[in-house]
Amino acid sequence: MTELRIAAVGDIHLGEDVRGQYRKSLDGIGDRADILMVAGDLTRHGTLEEGRVVADELRDLPIPVVAVLGNHDYHSDMQHEIASELRDAGVIVLNDDSAVIECDGTRLGVVGGKGFGGGFAGKCASEFGERETKNFVRHTRLIAESWQHALKEIDADRRVVLSHYSPIKETLEGEPLEIYPFLGSYLLAEAVDTAGADLILHGHAHRGTEKGMTSGGIRVRNVALPVLGAAYAVYCLADE
Amino acid sequence: MEAPQYVAARVQAALAEDRRTHELGIRVDVRGDQLFLRGQVSGAEQRERLGEVAREAAPDLHVHNEINVVEVGRPGEVEHLD
Sequence-ordered list of residues with C-beta below 8 angstroms from that of A236, at least 6 positions apart, any chain: A3, A4, A5, A6, B78, B79, B80, B81
Sequence-ordered list of residues with C-beta below 8 angstroms from that of A183, at least 6 positions apart, any chain: A117, A165, A166, A172, A175, A204, A205, A208
Q: What is the DSSP letter of A18?
A: G
Phi first, then psi: give them for residue A73, nearest 5 degrees: -70, -10
Is B25 within 8 Å of A199 when comparing Cβ atoms?
no
pLDDT grade, residue A39 (50/70/90)? very high
User: What ipTM did this prediction achieve?
Assistant: 0.86
Q: Is the domain covering A3-238 a CATH 1.10.3720.10 domain?
A: no
Question: Cα separation of A173 and A170, whole Å?
Answer: 6
- A93-119 in b/e form (b: 16+ CB < 10 A) is bbebbbbebebeebebbbbbbbbbbbb
Is B46 within 8 Å of A15 when comparing Cβ atoms?
yes
Task: Label the pairing between strands B27-31 and A233-238.
Answer: unpaired
- Angstroms from A222 CA to nearest CA on chain B: 13
pLDDT tens readout for residues A127-174: 889 999 999 999 999 999 999 999 999 999 999 999 999 999 999 999
| The pLDDT of residue A17 | 86
B2 pLDDT exceeds 90?
A: no
| The pLDDT of residue B65 | 95
Rg (CA), chain B: 15
- Angstroms from B52 CA to nearest CA on chain A: 16
Question: Cα separation of B68 and A176, whole Å?
Answer: 19
Question: Cα separation of A236 and A12, whole Å?
Answer: 22
pLDDT grade, residue B70 (50/70/90)? confident
Q: Chain A residues with CB inside 8 Å of B19's CB?
A: 45
Nearest to B42 among A12, A75, A228 (CB): A12
Question: Cα separation of B63 and B60, whole Å?
Answer: 9
Q: What angle do CA B17, B22, B28 make, to 5 degrees?
A: 80
Going A79 to A84 to A89 to A91, the CA torsion angle's sign is positive
Domain ranges (residues) in chain A:
3-238
pLDDT grade, residue A240 (50/70/90)? low
CATH of B4-69, one of 3.30.70.1770, 3.20.130.10, 3.40.640.10, 3.90.1150.10: 3.30.70.1770
Nearest to B25 among A7, A206, A232 (CB): A206
A130: helix, coil or strand?
coil
A–B: how many Cβ contacts below 8 A?
85
Q: How far is CA A132 from CA A101, A122, A125, A137, A138, in A?
A: 38, 20, 11, 9, 10
Measured between its terminal Cα atoms, the distance across chain B in Å is: 59
Mark out chain B residues that contact chain A at CB-CB < 8 A.
19, 21-23, 25, 39-43, 45-46, 70, 72-82
Q: Chain B residues with CB inside 8 Å of A206's CB?
A: 25, 39-40
Beta strands in chain A (DSSP E): 3-9, 35-39, 65-68, 92-93, 97-103, 106-113, 119-120, 123-124, 158-163, 199-202, 211-213, 219-222, 233-238
Is B75 within 8 Å of A230 when comparing Cβ atoms?
yes
Question: Cα separation of A155 and A199, whole Å?
Answer: 16
pLDDT tens readout for residues B23-68: 888 999 999 999 999 988 878 899 999 999 999 999 999 999 999 8
